[in-house]
Structure 1
Amino acid sequence: MRKSTTFSFLSPFVNNPHLDSMKEDILYHFNLNTGTLNFPAKFGDVKFVCVGGSPWRMKSFAEYIAGELGLAVPNAEYPNICESTDRYAMYKVGPVLSVSHGMGIPSISIMLHELIKLLYHARCTDVTIVRLGTSGGIGLHPGTVVITKQPMDATFLPRFEQVILGKSVVRSTELDGDLAEELLQCGKDLAEFDTVIANTMCTLDFYEGQARLDGAFCSYTEEDKQNYLAKAYAAGVRNIEMESSVFAAMCKLSNLRAAVVCVTLLDRQKGDQLSSSHDVLHSYQQRPQILVGHYIKKKLNASKKS
């Protein structure tokens, strides 16, 4: 088993000695099995992994990146590698893997465990992984793309806390700062929409956990909500979502170069419910994929020249 004692980005690795004694590894929620599939042949050339909440959005990204990389074929169908399961969807376009992760920390955590093992079994190297998503903004115009500097929990601490064997384990949510700056430069290159680097708050809930007033339950006032969001803003938080903390923690444990790129759909200081039209929201949701698509194309073009 490959191991690393440094925070390098040479290859993703697992840290589980029990895997060595397994004759085959069943990635249950992907419905992929190392005993029946040649992982290095199927996935060994993967250099970029993009993950996002919904299956249709990740299929859309696969189709988009195929066009950007000149790999699109008229009337081509991009098969879902995980089509025999309804948990997640996965699409491969050249060196790019596009995977859905569902909503919330538990769902993305399960997906990441199996994705990291997939990259390990495939013997992939120099992999960059980016979460593409939507979020609620704080003090930003809707449609602004936020590149996460540091994921924070709902108390504005840069950590991910998990209970393992009855004990609380706290892990760092550090992301790659150089990658964030490279993505910001891509936003400047495009000059199509506002792009910023800022902290992101990751919550366990969409309603009360994010200080919304429109859930089934609410024990606080509008003033309480605004005071909380003001504290978040003071902590450098500019958007709120539900996956970034565990994503950052697990990617760091795996030596994966990682970033989170989310578009804001509204300013939470001005309301809780979406009022923009479907077409406007759809255009907003395309912005992270446009930014990351530009980054991938830029990196691949640079590698061809070197």
Structure 2
Amino acid sequence: MAAAGARTKELENNHSDCFVQLSNPNVATMKEDVLYHFNLSTGTHDFPALFGDVKFVCVGGSPSRMNTFIRYVASELGLGRPGEEYPNICAGTDRYAMYKVGPVLSVSHGMGIPSIAIMLHELIKLLYHARCSNVTIIRIGTSGGIGLEPGSVVITQQAVDACFKPEFEQIVLGKRVVRSTDLDERLVQELAKCAADLSEFTTVVGNTMCTLDFYEGQGRLDGALCSYTEKDKQAYLHAAHAAGIRNIEMESSVFAAICSACGLRAAVVCVTLLDRLQGDQINSPHDVLVEYQQRPQRLVGYFIKKSLGKA
């Protein structure tokens, strides 16, 4: 029994020392690492002092949305005062915005795969240099639904490409490199349980299609270019639905691929702004869209609060 207890303790200690790792041996040999798009550097900033306590990282497209999220989380965790402002840690650049309160980091990633990929490379290096451990990273955002009422929240089971394949393809040194888009299954279930606890809005677990474009790449009929018909579009979207896809956005595949390659526990939680089977344009009133966008924030905020034993 004593040996079993010691083994349990050893496993607990190993888990508590699960530091963020990179899939790049070159970084460890660098005298200084300049995170150019964050305007941060290991030569000018004390990363462990600034970020060493981070356990939760939430990323989303809009700087203003991520600022709203950090203020919301601060209030939920009892870490801030009403009306308190949080400085943008990346104020020296106009590429991304970053905010922090307690163990939570909130970072904007812009729109599309190239923008979020650049941000993730530097974000994960930041966590590595800060010696962060047991980090959970979640993308919160908006999407187009497939067969769902607007305002529904989708927790991504699997990120897939526009051909419904669970992979992310990139050309590296002229060669095709394909990475898996696996997400943490346990985290998906934890988030689904939190959604059930809240019971505030429709939440489903489903696949998410990640595209390279908002218009033709997603089968819209209202772009500057269109080479297909409404019938073609409907056939494609119904095929996607049959493949388990419940929403479409433009970041999940590279997010899943990079996080998985670096061993990070990751999830994607997006609200749907419209049902693409019913139309292409987002025309809900502004106040309705604002409330929709708050839904992933409320779910993830509750998850963080529960994880910290404050729910």
Task: Tell me if 1:219 matches 2:227.
Answer: yes
Name the structure 1 match of 2:252.
244
- 1:193-208 to 2 correspondence within 5 Å? 193-208=201-216
* RMSD of aligned Cα (Å): 1.3
Q: Displacement of 1:77 after TM fit?
A: 1.6
Paired AA for residue 205 in structure 1: D
Task: Tell me if 1:17 matches 2:37.
Answer: no
Task: Tell me if 1:27 matches 2:41.
Answer: no
Paired AA for residue 274 in structure 2: L
- 1:151-166 to 2 correspondence within 5 Å? 151-166=159-174
Task: Tell me if 1:261 matches 2:294.
Answer: no
Task: Tell me if 1:180 matches 2:184.
Answer: no
Deviations 1:159-181 (A, max 9, x none): 00000000000000000011001
Structure 2: 5+ residue stretches without partners? 1-15
In 1, Cα distance between equivalents of 2:286 and 2:171:
39
Q: Displacement of 1:209 after TM fit?
A: 0.3
Instruction: Give 1:83's match in structure 2, choosing from 91, 107, 113.
Output: 91
**SS of corresponding position for 1:178:** helix
Paired AA for residue 225 in structure 1: K
What's the TM-score, normalizing by structure 2? 0.93
Task: Tell me if 1:94 matches 2:106.
Answer: no
Structure 1: 5+ residue stretches without partners? 1-7
CA contact (8 A) 2:75 2:82 kept: no
Q: Displacement of 1:17 after TM fit?
A: 2.1
Q: Displacement of 1:291 after TM fit?
A: 0.1
Total equivalences in the alignment: 296
Q: Displacement of 1:135 after TM fit?
A: 0.1
Deviations 1:38-76 (A, max 9, x none): 100100000000000000000000000000000111332
CA contact (8 A) 1:11 1:255 kept: no
Paired AA for residue 125 in structure 1: S
In 1, Cα distance between equivalents of 2:171 and 2:229:
32
Name the structure 2 match of 1:3.
none
Deviations 1:249-271 (A, max 9, x none): 00001111000000000000000
**SS of corresponding position for 2:308:** helix
Segments of 4+ moved more than 6 angstroms: none
Name the structure 2 match of 1:289.
297
Paired AA for residue 210 in structure 1: Q
Name the structure 2 match of 1:61.
69
Name the structure 2 match of 1:170.
178
CA contact (8 A) 1:9 1:256 kept: no
What's the TM-score, normalizing by structure 1? 0.95
Name the structure 1 match of 2:200.
192
Percent pairwise identity: 71
Deviations 1:140-161 (A, max 9, x none): 0000000000000000000000
In 2, Cα distance between equivalents of 1:76 and 1:213:
44
Paired AA for residue 232 in structure 2: D
Task: Tell me if 1:280 matches 2:288.
Answer: yes
